[in-house]
């Protein structure tokens, strides 16, 4: 059994690159049908989504713009609650179709904040495309338009996802071994 160890944690291979690419293909096919004529702006969430975005967007054939953003979330005032900032967003989103490209939706807090932010900027149609979705962990009211794979509530690394910065470059997915 193929394993990797980073610092104090050991992970076991759980999803192969071939399975990932098949799931990515399916999402691309859906997008090519759904987004035709919509002139979407894809917002790729760094760092985790870089590998997913690369494989997915090579397979998207409709005219589209791409931009890379980082998401920062902090507590605002009592009336504003949590505030999400999109670092690196230089494009106008008002009136546009926005497709967020994310690595994984866990509690949904990151994506909820990002959707609220894009709404406040006047985006017309906001869609979420995530490589992984953990349905059992979801705590926010979110609509996931494109989930390449649903997975159990385990911690994973590889294909862009990290443990303390390690594991992002692995071509397969590895799951934390509980011990």
Identify residues 34-73 at the interface with ligand IMP (CB under 6 A): 48
How far out from the chain centre does Cα 151 lie? Answer: 14
Q: Which stretch binds Mg ion (CB under 5 A): 9-17, 18-26, 100-108, 112-120?
A: 100-108
Nearest to 68 by CA among 102, 24, 22, 17: 102
Q: Does 160 bind ligand IMP (CB under 6 A)?
A: no
Would you call 141 a catalytic residue per the annotation?
no
In the numeric block, the tokens 């059992």 are attached to: 136
The verdict on whether omega for the bond into residue 47 sits within 30 degrees of 0, i.e. cis, is yes
Identify residues 82-141 at the interface with ligand IMP (CB under 6 A): 102-110
40 contact choice in Mg ion, ligand IMP, none (CB below 5 to 8 Å, kind-dependent): none
Token pair recorded at residue 41: 């702006």
SS3 label, residue 34: helix
50 contact choice in Mg ion, ligand IMP, none (CB below 5 to 8 Å, kind-dependent): none
Q: Does 173 bind ligand IMP (CB under 6 A)?
A: no
How far out from the chain centre does Cα 174 lie? Answer: 17
**Of the two residues 55 and 103, which places its CB atom closer to ligand IMP in the complex?**
103
The catalytically annotated residue of 8, 25, 34, 106 is: 106
CB of 106 to Mg ion, least distance (A): 9
Q: Does 15 bind ligand IMP (CB under 6 A)?
A: no
Q: Exposed/middle/buried for 52, CB within 10 Å: 0-12, 13-18, 19+?
A: buried
CB of 30 to ligand IMP, least distance (A): 21
Q: Exposed/middle/buried for 43, CB within 10 Å: 0-12, 13-18, 19+?
A: buried
**Of the two residues 4 and 62, which places its CB atom closer to ligand IMP in the complex?**
4
DSSP state of 137: G
Chain contacts with ligand IMP (rule: CB under 6 A): 48, 102-110, 155-156, 161
């Amino acid at each position: 059994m193929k394993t990797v160890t980073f610092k104090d944690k050991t992970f076991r291979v759980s999803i192969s690159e071939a399975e990932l690419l098949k799931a990515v293909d399916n999402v691309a096919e859906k997008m090519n049908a759904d987004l035709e004529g919509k002139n979407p702006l894809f917002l790729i969430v760094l760092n985790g989504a870089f590998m997913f975005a690369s494989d997915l967007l090579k397979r998207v054939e409709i005219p589209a713009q791409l931009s890379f953003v980082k998401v920062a979330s902090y507590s605002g005032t009592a009336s504003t609650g949590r505030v999400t900032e999109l670092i690196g967003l230089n494009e106008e989103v008002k009136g546009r179709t926005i497709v967020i490209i994310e690595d994984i939706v866990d509690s949904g807090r990151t994506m909820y904040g990002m959707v609220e932010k894009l709404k406040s900027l006047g985006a017309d149609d906001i869609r979420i495309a995530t490589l992984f979705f953990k349905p059992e962990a979801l705590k926010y009211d979110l609509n996931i338009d494109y989930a390449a794979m649903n997975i159990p509530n385990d911690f994973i690394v590889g294909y862009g996802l990290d443990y303390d910065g390690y594991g992002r470059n692995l071509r397969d997915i590895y799951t934390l071994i509980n011990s």
